[in-house]
Structures are given as structure tokens and as C-alpha cells.
Amino acid sequence: MAGFAASIAIGAVELLPRVEDGIARDSKLTAAQRRHAAGDRLGLDPVPFDAFRATLRPRERYAVDVPSGVKGPFITRGEVVRAYSAFYFLPAIQVRKAGRVFHYRFP
């Protein structure tokens, strides 16, 4: 009992202020900021993503043209862009080669 009570005390002191901070921060996000939250976290420019997405149809095949970029702990920046494109452009389908190509260059 005492152990669980101590655990609750630690959690309450450590966590509850953070919860309030998170609510205050995230509740101010606009729809556009929310839509680009993942890309913003990665430091990607949202404009080319939005422009290309507006031209895509569901299930349309497209390819991604992006330089490899810097290597992170697991994958390169280019691979991050491919991954983000795969998520952001759904329900269009990313393939290796296609008539439609999304070009992205790092600033």
C-alpha cells in the first residue's frame, strides 16, 4: 500500500504539471500545423508536399526524387522524406518508378 502510494505521489508530482503544459501548447495548434506536425518535427518544408498532394488521385502511383542527404542513426534524410511522402500522400501509392514524380530538395 505504502509503495503504491509513494508511486502515485511521484507520478503526480512529475506528470501532472506536464499534462497541463501539453494541453496549453497543443490546443493552440491550427489545422494546418496539426496536418504538418510530423513534417515540422522533421524540419521538412510543407509547401511542396501540399502542392504535390493536391494533384494526386487515390491509388495513383508516384515516385519520389530526393537526394540521400545526411545519414542519421538508422536512415538517411532522403529516406525520411520518402517515408513521410508515403504517409502524407496516401491513398496514392509510392513506387520506385512512375510517371508522376515528387521532387524534394533540402534547403
Partner 1 sequence: MRIAGLLGANALMLVTGLGLLPLLGAARSWRALVARLGLAYLCGIVLAGLIAANLALVRVSFGWLGLAVLTLVSALAGVWRLRGTDLPEWRAPSWTGLAGVATLAALLVEYGRAFAVAPLDRYDAWAIWALKGRALYSFGWADPAVLAGHEYRFANLDYPLMLPSLEAVDFRSMGAFDTRLLHLQFLLFLVAALSALYALERDRVPRLLLWTSLVAVAVAPAMFDQLLTAYADVPLALVLAVGICAAGRWLLTNERWTLAVAALCFAGALLTKNEGLLFVAAAFLGLLAAAYGRWRALILAAAADVLLFLPWKVYGWIYDLHDINYSLADSFDLGHISGRLGVGRIAFGTLGEEMVGPLQWGLLFPLFGLLVIVALATRPRALALYATVWALLSWLGLSWIYVISHYEYSSYLDSTKDRVIASIVLGGAALTPLLAAEIWTTVRAPGRPRSAGERTP
Per CB under 8 A, residues contacting partner 1 are 1, 3-8, 10-12, 14-16, 18-19, 22-23, 26-27, 29, 33-35, 37-38, 40-41, 58-59, 73-75, 79, 82-84, 86-87, 90-91, 93-96
Where are any strands of DSSP class E within 48-104? Answer: 61-65, 93-94, 100-103
- Closest C-alpha to 102, from 2, 92, 41, 1: 92
Q: How far apart are CA 11 and CA 33, in angstroms?
A: 30
Q: Which is nearer to partner 1, 14 or 54 (CB)?
A: 14
Partners of residue 102 on adjacent β-strands: 64
State the minimum distance, in angstroms, from the CB of residue 52 to partner 1.
Answer: 15
CB 8, min distance to partner 1, A:
5
CB nearer to partner 1: give 13 or 47: 13
Q: Which is nearer to partner 1, 6 or 51 (CB)?
A: 6
Query: What's the N-to-C CA distance of the chain in angstroms?
Result: 56
